[in-house]
Amino acid sequence: MKRISIILSLALLFYSCSTYNKTELSNEIIKSKDGDWESSTIVKHDYLVSDNWWNIFEDQKLDSAMKIFLSNNYDLKLAISSLESSKQLAVYNAGKILPDISTQINNTRSSQNFSGTSMEEAAELFNPGGGAVLSETYALNLTSQWEIDVWGKLYSKKLSAKKEYQSSKNEHKYLQFSLTSQAVKIYFNLVESKEQLSLADSSLSAYQDIFNIVERRYNQGVRSSLDYRLAKSNLLIAEASLERRKMAVDGLTREMEVLLGLYPSGTFKTSNILSKSLPGIPKNLPSEIIQRRPDIIASYNKIESSFADLDYAKKMKFPSFNLTGSVGASTDDLNNLLDGDFSVWNLGASMTFPIFQSGKIKAYQNLSKSLLEQAEIQYVYSILKAFSEIENKLSSDIMLNKQLISLSDAYTQSKEAYLLAKDRYDKGLTDLITVLDSQKRMFDMQGQMISVRKMLIENRIDLLICLGGRFSES
């Protein structure tokens, strides 16, 4: 009884040391000099990426497209299949905490000739005619083998496999988030291309109006052939630009259809203008907000898995205790196979103590230590990169908004300049080059404004990814 108490006490001691609690990774990783990050305590809750996060753009056609995307996209289907593989691998590598139980049914036939042996006379009792003795045996056995997890070694192995699967699961969540964000970006690229196409069409109409005026005056002998050729040249350039925009829309439409698992017919419908509904960004963001990112959680899961595996490696040098047993029946008559009078059983126990393993246990332990150290480094580095990504996106958002304001003012000025130049041209007070230049500048400003608005949307999507799907904890 005293020996059993000692073993249980040792097992409890080793089990209590098998929980990962590395506080230096979880406190004060980063502090912003501006105080914009309120704290930096690690949050280990399993946050989920916000469902339907794209609703913030208030685009019904986008909402409909993403429903199809989630159902039909082949990259998502492949990711789900890969996750299932990871789950089954984790089950396979989880160790053997529970006993192995198997059953076996045997039917054996044998023939033996005892002629010329000491058993010849006894054999004649069963086979009066002499010759070979035929026999047939039926057996039914239930066997079991169980390694008693005294030290918690098998539990550590199971925990390591479980955490590895959780890491794969969170990586899958992040992959799903990344794939959906790419789909939303392509959608808005398509919408931007449609806006640019509409602008190119308006530009062509404007150049056509200018050419008609110049052509009429040229035919009247009021304008020179130089004005005529300049106007005609700009008109042809506008026509080429329109076709280029059509090609872009057609290509992005088919790309979007493939993402949705649809045939690339080029008929997919989207909104015609970019969404102006963008979520506001809080002035102060809690640092815990990035800890809900699935890739950060996955990185922490790898630490937990590596720590549990190291615990398993340390306990490999302890003795293992095994129980084996079997119960069944053996008879030469199949009808008696379930008869208790023919039952047989055995029960055994063994202890195996590793003495010489050619350094394999020590090598595995060193390998586990190295993998744990790598997981810790990767975890800290992933958090640093996450902060860097967020800061970059926040900075880009400010600069893009400033660009948009400047371009908006520039567009207003270029439009007024174009109208003034056109009026002066009609009165014969300026040349055609001034009109065409101001007209081109006006349409360029419009095109740049559309591009910057799309870049703002993409930057906001990237920021959503960096923050795990939303801008606040609520």
Spell out the per-residue pLDDT of the chain, length 474, in tens.
444 343 334 333 433 444 444 444 444 443 443 444 443 343 333 333 456 888 888 899 999 999 999 989 888 888 888 888 878 877 777 667 777 888 877 777 766 655 555 555 555 555 555 555 566 776 777 788 878 888 888 888 888 888 988 998 998 888 888 899 999 999 999 999 999 999 999 999 999 999 998 898 888 887 788 989 999 999 999 999 999 999 999 999 999 999 999 999 999 999 999 998 887 776 766 666 677 788 999 999 999 999 999 998 998 888 888 888 887 676 666 666 565 555 677 878 888 888 887 888 899 899 999 999 999 999 999 988 988 998 899 999 999 999 999 999 999 999 999 999 988 988 888 888 999 999 999 999 999 999 999 999 999 999 888 887 665 544
Taking 3-state DSSP, the helix, strand and coil percentages for the chain, each rounded to the nearest 5, stand at: 65, 10, 25
pTM: 0.75
Q: What is the pLDDT of residue 22?
A: 42
**CA–CA distance from 225 to each of 213, 217, 220 (Å)?**
13, 10, 12
The vertex-297 CA angle with 80 and 383, nearest 5°, equals 125
* 379 in Cβ contact with 25 (< 8 Å): yes
* 147 in Cβ contact with 341 (< 8 Å): no
Q: What is the pLDDT of residue 112?
A: 61
Max CA-CA distance within the chain? 140
Q: Where are the alpha helices (DSSP H) in 34-143?
A: 60-72, 74-92, 120-126
Euclidean distance between CA atoms 26 and 45, whole angstroms: 13
| Contacts (Cβ under 8 Å, ≥6 apart) of 125 | none
**CA–CA distance from 274 to each of 25, 289, 392 (Å)?**
43, 28, 23
Cα atoms found within 13 Å of the Cα of residue 356, Cβ hemisphere only: 1
Q: Looking at this protein, which amino acid is placed at residue 96? A: K
Strands 132-148 vs 100-113: parallel, antiparallel or unpaired: antiparallel
Q: Name the residue with tokens 């967020």.
A: 390
Query: Which pair of tokens denotes residue 252?
Result: 């992005």
Least Cα distance to 385 among 458, 472, 465, 454 occurs for 465
Q: Looking at this protein, which amino acid is placed at residue 11? A: A
Q: What is the pLDDT of residue 242?
A: 96
Euclidean distance between CA atoms 212 and 468, whole angstroms: 56
